[in-house]
Structure 1
Amino acid sequence: MNFYDVVIVGGGHNGLVAATYLAQAGLSTLVLEQQPHTGGAAVSQQVFRGVDARLSRYSYLVSLLPDKIVSDLGLSLELRSRGVASYTPVRRSGRDLGLMVDRPEGSATRESFARLTGSDKEYDAWTEFYGAVGELAAVIAPTLLEPLQSADSLRSRVDPALWDELVERPFGESVERRFSDDTVRGVVATDAVIGTFAGLHDESLIQNRCFLYHLIGNGTGEWRVPVGGMGAVTDALAAAARRAGAVLITNAAVTAVEVDGVRGSVTWLGGDGERSVDCKYVLSNVAPATLDALRGRDVAAKPEGSQLKVNLLLSRLPALRSGDDPTRAFAGTFHIDEDYSQLESAYRTAAAGALPDVPPSEVYCHSLTDPSILSPELIASGHHTLTVFGVHFPARLFAADNDSARAEATRRVLAGLDSYLAEPLADCIARDADGNLCIESKTPQDIENSIGMPGGHIFHGDLQWPWSPTPTAPNLWGTETDTPNLLLCGSGARRGGAVSGLGGHNAAMSILTR
């Protein structure tokens, strides 16, 4: 076929969402993906040789994917809630403690706060703050699948004081005013810096935007575990796209995109050489910087990712110095050295060009909620996966010698986890078929090299507010470019970022509502 209504550049989850909506509406749709498989960062893979465990290698959890998209596309997908929201090990006055936040919260969570802080004050501040954030999320979340609202329109529907606190002023001011305890402050603040390199008082407010995106998914902000791993999300989307009639081609490296406002042309290299196809619309599911290069334009400054991802397989969960049950502690988000002061110190050190001495990070144990990613033999023998997200590791720290910096950064992150354990972590790490420890680390450079995200930036660039800063024209979806028939459908769109499907949905709606 030499002509399609729509050609989508990039077969990540957003591209598959857009393809399914468009094909369901009867538009001929082609998806081109340079990897041997669709999915982008939302994939599950057997990472360790000879070990039957399929880890979510890059993206771990799902929050922003609206239930409506799952329903609209008829996805065969289960997202499972975790019984624990978070656990934070703390060492104070020679005592090892742990702050446990249950889901749903109850008396046990209040008691955990009181044991740590000595009173109910911090938990009362916690419930007041997150209650207010929940009201804000309930207003914003439904608009993510609608044409862009204006900032003034949304502000008029929420508490204006809360809006000003979270949208107009640096997030650090809010945290410091509402909370007193350094650990509690850190647990709140960490959602503002996951995947975003910024101080909590940064005047750009990118930390505020990051916090908001982490708390508005489906109006609840809950981060759920995809049963079968992140690859199950991609598999369900690819199956839906094919059912709807979209054509998916893998091993297709797009080399050029041309658009004139009316027609488009996309060229790619595949197993049978160079090919081109004409179309009415082009949807870009690659980073804006990558799209500029494909259009033959000057590329603006490359975005800079800021994370270290460490994937591990354990033969057993390690015991904790606090004495808390590891099957509970690791069931949610396990915070390591993420006190407020530690987050800020790590940021200052990294901004000065050095690896943080005490790097903040957080751990997710997928297999406690969904053991299906492990073989029956591994489940029976007590194996578990751990995935670690190291905060404030900007790409610049790995530029001179990626291999050496990766090794040292990994050592520091795992040493941080080790410091809260009652037994050496190394004793709990499984070995692969060659006898090597089951550890894999990914720096921003590694992520760029493996899945093509410029600078290893997991959001394709700084997150934008999920609304228009100015009054909006009708039928603007935040996916528009300088050319009417070229749309952004990936994380680089306004309301993009994370595994959400929002960019794909909104680009498709931009076409279907014209």
Structure 2
Amino acid sequence: MPPGDAYDAVIVGGGHNGLVAAAYLARAGRSVLVLERRDQVGGAAVSSRPFPGVDVRLSRYSYLVSLLPPVIVRDLGLRLTLAKRAVSSYTPVVRAGRPTGLLVHRAEPERTRASFARLTGSDREYAAWRRFYGMTGRLARRVFPTLTEPLPTRAALRAEVADGAAWEALVERPLGEAIEAAFADDLVRGVVLTDALIGTFTHAHDPALRQNRCFLYHVIGGGTGDWDVPVGGMGALTDALALAARQAGAYLATGRTATAIATDGSSAEVTYRDAVGEHTAGARQVLVNASPDRLAELLGEPVPRPAAEGAQLKVNMVLRRLPRLRDPAADPREAFAGTFHVAEGYRELDLAHRQAAAGRCPKAPPSEIYCHSLTDPTILGSEAAGQGLHTLTLFGLHTPARLFAADHDAVKAELLSATLARLDAHLAEPIADCLAVDAEGRPCVEAKSPVDLERELWLPGGSIFHGDLVFPWAEEEPGESGPERWGVATGHPNVLLCGAGAVRGGGVSGVAGHNAAMAALGR
């Protein structure tokens, strides 16, 4: 049992945002209880060894870091290293019957220029690429610092960005218009669009601008849009946050499932169960690191509609060796070090979306892959490193939860097979021949559908963002209350949302946890 039964704050959910909030509140002298349903904290930001006898520590669910603000790292004294990837991406393609590809090299721009020229026959697309990402960079440098400040209004942030063309292209109009105006090559267009589709089931010309919101969060991280590798795996981030919270005095209680929240606006009670039975903890404030859907259930209120829906297939693999590529100019150690795009041409992405929207599995499922162990070999045990093992993390797009309703296992197997077949089309050897085997002789590959993520992590509909992302600002001046000013308000003044469903939530950022803590502290 946790010590005592009354706290300044009870935090429901020990995911990374809950840990951030706990650390800030405890450092401010508040008594804090964190209730985590699972037997470990971290939520989706955890590492594990899923394959028996294979000493490889995989980032099981989330896997890269971009949106974590340095201010959180500094404030909490986190012992965390994020490694840069020299290669941004490699996208294989067959042109005129010849295997080739587009390499975007972060550290050597001349190699990127040469790759564009080899693919398209001129420097036009490379020049357009530089202009386009120069525009996103200008916006990112203005927007990213505001994520850990009180909510700006749309008008105030637009004035701060001070680039009307960038704002119009990325915020006001469907992103497909900007992409098509900037680029002529189908493959280049597709590579740009992928950042608008990660975990979001939408298309380039969605009038609701879901793609724009998703794209914005994917390109503003750190003011650069870089996606970095957490050294030691994603679990290293959770370990650092849990240590900071515990050292500050927060009590982290695992194996405790919250079942109800009751509040009168000034005090609250959280009912939870553990292996012994049911208990109640009193609190002045409750911070909920769970989805708005789950919060409504805990409060006994109607669940928001429409329901959230995830749209991704997450696949973890351990390889005996990296596969050889059909493109003779491509080095697998470079190609898989960045994001390896598969079936993500512009037209391919649109076709896959239309097939899935019609209730059919995409014939050529788009996906992107990267090898964590190339940048960070510390996730490999000594024996695994000696054997030359590597990891592959695959994130499939356009696989909405609705596809799995009829027969989950059969659909997942179909999509996994089709996804790996699309990868094989660009390899000189089948990926199956490169897979390591576990202690029981089974190939080291596991797939997680949106249904799996809902079951394991309580993500509504398997949505990694807890629902549709929203732009990181208020349409009008927020109210005077702290929760409204920080974008973490619920219908109750002492119940705050500190998960991905908060304004400026989503991704492994800690932003929602930080902002909920600031609101709770009255800052």
Please classify the TM superposition score into its range, dividing by the shorter chain length.
over 0.9
Partner of 1:125: 128
Partner of 1:197: 201
Report how far residue 259 of structure 1 moved.
1.5
Partner of 2:511: 502
Partner of 1:435: 441
Q: 2:29 pairs with 9, 26, 45, which one?
A: 26
Q: 2:264 pairs with 249, 260, 267, which one?
A: 260
Structure-2 separation of matches of 1:485 and 1:406? 41
Deviations 1:258-298 (A, max 9, x none): 11210011000012210001110000100000110111112
**4+ runs of 1 displaced by more than 4 Å?**
none
What pairs up with 1:402-441 in 2 under 5 angstroms? 402-441=408-447
Partner of 1:68: 71
Question: Are positions 1:42 and 2:48 aligned together?
Answer: no
Assess if the C-alpha contact under 8 Å between 2:311 and 2:399 holds in 1: yes
Q: What amino acid is aligned across from residue 187 of structure 1 in structure 2?
A: V
Farther off after superposition, 350-359 or 96-105: 96-105
What 5-or-longer segments of structure 2 have no aligned partner?
none
Deviations 1:389-427 (A, max 9, x none): 000000000111110001000001100110000111111
Report how far residue 338 of structure 1 moved.
0.3
Q: What amino acid is aligned across from residue 148 of structure 1 in structure 2?
A: L
Structure-2 separation of matches of 1:137 and 1:423? 40
Deviations 1:27-57 (A, max 9, x none): 1011000000000000001111111111111
Structure-2 separation of matches of 1:112 and 1:165? 27
Q: CA RMSD in A?
A: 0.8
Assess if the C-alpha contact under 8 Å between 2:341 and 2:367 holds in 1: yes
Assess if the C-alpha contact under 8 Å between 2:76 and 2:244 holds in 1: yes
Deviations 1:335-388 (A, max 9, x none): 001001111110000000000001110001100000111111211221100010
Question: Are positions 1:328 and 2:331 aligned together?
Answer: no
Deviations 1:453-484 (A, max 9, x none): 11110011110100111123454000011111
Q: 2:489 pairs with 480, 490, 494, which one?
A: 480
Structure-1 separation of matches of 2:70 and 2:107? 20
Partner of 1:309: 314
Structure-1 separation of matches of 2:311 and 2:430? 28
Give secondary structure in 2 for the equivalent of 1:306: coil
Structure-1 separation of matches of 2:165 and 2:477? 21
Structure-1 separation of matches of 2:198 and 2:309? 13
Report how far residue 237 of structure 1 moved.
0.4
What pairs up with 1:283-432 in 2 under 5 angstroms? 283-301=287-305, 302-323=307-328, 324-432=330-438
Structure-1 separation of matches of 2:163 and 2:108? 24
- Normalising by the residue count of structure 2, what TM-score does the alignment of the two structures yield? 0.97
Structure-2 separation of matches of 1:115 and 1:104? 19
Structure-2 separation of matches of 1:326 and 1:146? 42
Q: 1:491 pairs with 489, 496, 500, which one?
A: 500
Q: 1:147 pairs with 141, 145, 150, which one?
A: 150
Structure-1 separation of matches of 2:209 and 2:67? 20
Structure-2 separation of matches of 1:138 and 1:261? 38
Farther off after superposition, 90-99 or 295-304: 295-304
Report how far residue 105 of structure 1 moved.
4.6
Structure-1 separation of matches of 2:498 and 2:107? 34
Partner of 1:245: 249
Q: What amino acid is aligned across from residue 152 of structure 2 in structure 1?
A: Q
Q: 2:459 pairs with 453, 461, 472, which one?
A: 453
Structure-2 separation of matches of 1:283 and 1:19? 9
Assess if the C-alpha contact under 8 Å between 2:292 and 2:304 holds in 1: no
Report how far residue 300 of structure 1 moved.
2.2
Deviations 1:147-199 (A, max 9, x none): 00000011112211210111111011111111000000011000000000001
Structure-2 separation of matches of 1:354 and 1:135? 40
Farther off after superposition, 370-379 or 398-407: 370-379
Structure-1 separation of matches of 2:210 and 2:312? 16
